[in-house]
Chain A
Amino acid sequence: MRDKQIEDLKEYKYGFTTDIENIRAPKGLNEEVIKFISKIKKEPDWMLDWRLKAFERLKNLKEPNWQKPKYPKINYQDLYYYSAPKSASDKPKSLDELDPKLLETYQKLGIPLQEQKRLNGIAVDAVFDSVSVATTFKDKLTEKGIIFCSMSEAIQKHPELVKKYLGSVIPVTDHYFATLNSAVFTDGSFVYIPEGVRCPMELSTYFRINASETGQFERTLIIADKGSYVSYLEGCTAPMRDENQLHAANVELVALDDAEIKYSTVQNWYPGDKDGKGGIYNFVTKRGLCKGVNSKISWTQVETGSAITWKYPSCILQGDNSVGEFYSIAITNNHQKADTGTKMIHIGKNTKSKIISKGISAGYADNTYRGLVDIFPKAKNARNFTQCDSLLMGNKCGAHTVPYIKNRNSDSNIEHEATTSKISEEQLYYCQQRGLNSEEAVGLIVNGFCKEVLQQLPMEFAVEAQKLVGISLEGSVG
Chain B
Amino acid sequence: MLEINNLEAGIDNKEILKGLCLKINPGEVHAIMGPNGSGKSTLSNILSGKKGYEIKGDVKFENSNLLDLEIEERAHKGIFLAFQYPLEIPGVNTNNFLKTSLNAVKKAKGEKELDAIEFLKLVKEKSAQLKFDQNILSRQLNVGFSGGEKKKNEILQMSILNPKLSILDETDSGLDIDALKIVSDGVNSLRNTNNSFLIITHYQRLLNYIKPDFVHVLKDGKIIKTGNFELALELEKQGYESL
List residues of A whose CB falls within 8 A of some B CB: 424-427, 429-438, 440, 444-445, 447-452
Binds A, one of B79-87, B119-127, B174-182, B201-209: B79-87
Q: Contact check: which of B87, B100, B105 meets A430 at CB < 8 Å? A: B87
Cα of A430 to Cα of B45 in the assembled complex, Å: 11
Contact (A429, B71) CB under 8 Å given A435-B76, A435-B101, A435-B105: yes
B110: Cβ under 8 A from any A Cβ = no
Chain A nearest CB: distance from B45 CB in Å?
8
Contact (A433, B48) CB under 8 Å given A426-B87, A444-B92: yes
Contact (A444, B105) CB under 8 Å given A429-B50, A429-B71, A434-B157: no
Cβ of B11: which chain A residues have Cβ within 8 Å of it? Answer: none
Cβ of B80: which chain A residues have Cβ within 8 Å of it? Answer: 433
Q: Who on chain A is nearest to B50 by CB? A: A429
Cα of A444 to Cα of B101 in the assembled complex, Å: 11
**B75 with A430: CB separation less than 8 A:** no
**B89 with A431: CB separation less than 8 A:** yes
**B92 with A448: CB separation less than 8 A:** yes
Given contacts A435-B101, A435-B108, 15 further A-B contacts (CB under 8 A): A427-B87, A432-B71, A432-B72, A433-B48, A433-B75, A433-B80, A433-B81, A434-B104, A434-B157, A435-B161, A436-B101, A440-B100, A447-B92, A448-B90, A448-B92
Cα of A284 to Cα of B242 in the assembled complex, Å: 74
Going nearest first, the 6 A-B pairs with the smallest beta carbon separation are A448-B91, A448-B92, A434-B101, A451-B91, A435-B104, A432-B71
Interface residues in B29-68 (C-beta closer than 8 Å to A):
48-52
Q: Could you give 30 example pairs across A and B, Cβ below 8 Å?
A: A425-B52, A427-B89, A429-B51, A430-B83, A431-B89, A432-B49, A432-B72, A432-B75, A433-B71, A433-B75, A434-B75, A434-B97, A434-B101, A434-B105, A434-B161, A435-B72, A435-B104, A435-B105, A435-B108, A436-B104, A437-B70, A444-B92, A444-B100, A447-B92, A448-B89, A448-B91, A448-B140, A448-B141, A449-B91, A450-B91
Contact (A432, B70) CB under 8 Å given A425-B51, A440-B100, A444-B97: yes
Q: Contact check: which of A437, A444, A450, A451 meets B72 at CB < 8 Å? A: A437
Cβ of B102: which chain A residues have Cβ within 8 Å of it? Answer: 435
**A435 with B92: CB separation less than 8 A:** no
Per DSSP, chain A at the interface is: helix
Cβ of A427: which chain B residues have Cβ within 8 Å of it? Answer: 87, 89
Cβ of B100: which chain A residues have Cβ within 8 Å of it? Answer: 436, 440, 444
Cα of A421 to Cα of B75 in the assembled complex, Å: 27
Cβ of B140: which chain A residues have Cβ within 8 Å of it? Answer: 448
Chain B nearest CB: distance from A98 CB in Å?
37
Cα of A146 to Cα of B81 in the assembled complex, Å: 58
Cβ of B87: which chain A residues have Cβ within 8 Å of it? Answer: 424, 426-427, 429-430
Cβ of A452: which chain B residues have Cβ within 8 Å of it? Answer: 91
Q: Which of B81, B86, B89, B97 has the most CB of A within 10 A?
A: B89
Cα of A431 to Cα of B74 in the assembled complex, Å: 12
Cα of A450 to Cα of B90 in the assembled complex, Å: 10
Cα of A36 to Cα of B81 in the assembled complex, Å: 69
Q: Who on chain A is nearest to B109 by CB? A: A435
Cα of A440 to Cα of B92 in the assembled complex, Å: 13
Cα of A450 to Cα of B89 in the assembled complex, Å: 12
Cα of A444 to Cα of B71 in the assembled complex, Å: 17
Cα of A98 to Cα of B188 in the assembled complex, Å: 66
**A444 with B104: CB separation less than 8 A:** no
Cβ of B90: which chain A residues have Cβ within 8 Å of it? Answer: 448-449
Cβ of B104: which chain A residues have Cβ within 8 Å of it? Answer: 434-437, 440
Q: Which of A432, A435, A438, A447 has the most CB of B within 10 A?
A: A435
Cβ of A451: which chain B residues have Cβ within 8 Å of it? Answer: 91-92
Q: Who on chain B is nearest to A424 by CB? A: B87
Cβ of B83: which chain A residues have Cβ within 8 Å of it? Answer: 430, 433
Cβ of A424: which chain B residues have Cβ within 8 Å of it? Answer: 87
**A445 with B92: CB separation less than 8 A:** yes
Cα of A9 to Cα of B21 in the assembled complex, Å: 48
Cα of A78 to Cα of B104 in the assembled complex, Å: 51
Cβ of B71: which chain A residues have Cβ within 8 Å of it? Answer: 429, 432-433
Cβ of A435: which chain B residues have Cβ within 8 Å of it? Answer: 72, 75-76, 101-102, 104-105, 108, 161
